[in-house]
Amino acid sequence: MLGFITRPPHRFLSLLCPGLRIPQLSVLCAQPRPRAMAISSSSCELPLVAVCQVTSTPDKQQNFKTCAELVREAARLGACLAFLPEAFDFIARDPAETLHLSEPLGGKLLEEYTQLARECGLWLSLGGFHERGQDWEQTQKIYNCHVLLNSNGAVVATYRKTHLCDVEIPGQGPMCESNSTMPGPSLESPVSTPAGKIGLAVCYDMRFPELSLALAQAGAEILTYPSAFGSVTGPAHWEPVSS
């Protein structure tokens, strides 16, 4: 079951039941396996999840307001889990601003999302948080961190993107994520959620099948690749690999 809610400008919410085979969503629901329903959502006898799309800006509070509206709407419609994209927290104008706006996991912004999860009573997949890690003072670099919150607002899993996107973009020059971001040290084991067992990844990780194979072999039923591809990198990476 798939439904759409749109709000101007640049906000989008889709609802789906992970157990159904929908070709356009094959990357999100890679080879879903039949399973008994743990939570009844809407009229389909499967859990309902929401995929929220936003256009982030450097204004973190405005971005939170936009995301919160979509998450509350997803909860109202009966979703048990809502996915937010990579860079849901902000997209800065340059690397220096990215580092300036970044926060630790224990910072104010993530606390607002934990409160939102508790308020709405649903799980949140925060697809790419600009995290100041414990090594921030030494490295002055951040992590691209996929954070999973349960319906009580507790952090149940964190995965730090291991494959950083350092590419030459025709007509635009190089894009070097590694200039400001550290690669994560390891994969995260799949996590049991009301929607199924979820494997965490981020964006450019999609280019590396060994990661998805390892997650699938570890029992993942849903592979997640929250992304913030641009107008050039999207057609070059997201569309060929996900089709």
Least confident of 15-24, 69-78, 117-126, 141-150: 15-24
Whole-angstrom distance, CA of residue 47 vs CA of residue 40: 6
203 is catalytic: yes
Is 215 strand, coil or helix? helix
Q: What is the pLDDT of residues 99-129, one digit of tens each?
A: 999 999 999 999 999 999 999 999 999 999 9
Q: What is the pLDDT of residues 177-213, one digit of tens each?
A: 988 999 999 999 999 999 999 999 999 899 999 999 9
Residue 213 maps to a domain: yes
Q: What is the pLDDT of residues 7-42, one digit of tens each?
A: 333 456 676 666 543 333 222 332 333 333 233 344
Residue 4 maps to a domain: no
Helix H or strand E encompassing 167: strand 166-169
Alpha helices in the chain, H assignment, sequence order:
60-76, 95-101, 108-120, 136-139, 209-217, 233, 239-242
- Given a cut of 90, whether residue 92 has pLDDT beyond it is yes
pLDDT of residue 235: 75
The catalytically annotated residue of 52, 67, 165, 203 is 203
- Given a cut of 70, whether residue 165 has pLDDT beyond it is yes
User: Residue range 81-92: average pLDDT?
Assistant: 97
pTM (predicted TM-score): 0.82
Contact 179, 165 (CB under 8 A): no
Structural domain including 128 reads 49-241
Contact 59, 66 (CB under 8 A): no
210 is catalytic: no
The catalytically annotated residue of 67, 161, 165, 188 is 161
How many domains would you assign to the chain?
A: 1
Q: What is the CATH number of the domain that holds 130?
A: 3.60.110.10
The catalytically annotated residue of 52, 67, 86, 165 is 86
Residue 27 maps to a domain: no
Report the DSSP beta bridge partners of residue 70: none
Residue 106 maps to a domain: yes
User: Residue range 58-83: average pLDDT?
Assistant: 97
65 is catalytic: no
